[in-house]
Amino acid sequence: MAEHTGETRNEKLQRNIGELLQELRVAQAGVQILFGFLLSVVFTDRFHDASGFEKSLHLSAVALAVAATALLTAPAAWHRLLFRTGSRERILTVGNRLVLVGLVCLALAITSTVALIAKVVYGEIAMIVMGVLCVLIFGILWFAMPLRLNPANGDQPTGPPK
């Protein structure tokens, strides 16, 4: 069912851009904290004693955090550069895709970091268990549940809970 807000097309686009940028603030804070942690790890004595696999896993997590940072900040940069060009709809369309890919990269960066910590502290089995748990948590909460709750799927109640 279409949402009727009484807004003009331009007002709706402006509101949607604002909502997108507000949502990005939440994700950006998480990726920035993770990225800072990952960058500081290489300057510890223990990191130099890490195995090649552990260093590779760390570098993968760093690369994923960089990708997430770039993808999650791109819509804000685009908005700043294009906000007076009549490109709101394009910013929203492409920005939404960038954010979704950025969230996948963020989930994988967090998963890789947790797996690395589990590997260093408890070993390979803990790494696998924690990695799988992280993938499941992010996959379910960030992707499966929203898709399930989508009213277009026809499984939704039409009114508020009773």
Tell me the pLDDT tens digit for each residue of 30-41: 888 999 999 999
How far CA 68 is from CA of 19, 49, 110, 144, 146, in Å, comes to: 19, 28, 11, 20, 20
Residue 25 has pLDDT above 90, yes or no: no
The residues, ordered by sequence, that sit 6+ positions from 142 with a Cβ below 8 Å of its Cβ are: 103, 107
Neighbours of 40 (CB within 10 A): 10
* pLDDT of amino acid 20: 83
Neighbours of 152 (CB within 10 A): 8
Cα-to-chain-centroid distance, residue 158: 29
- pLDDT tens figures, 93-135: 888 999 999 999 999 999 999 999 999 999 999 999 999 999 9
At 84, list the tokens. Answer: 């007076």
- What is the Cα Rg of the chain in Å? 20
Distance CA 132, CA 89 (A): 37
The residue among 29, 32, 37, 36 whose CA lies nearest residue 116 is 37
What's the predicted TM-score (pTM) here? 0.83
Distance CA 45, CA 3 (A): 57
**DSSP designation for 62:** H
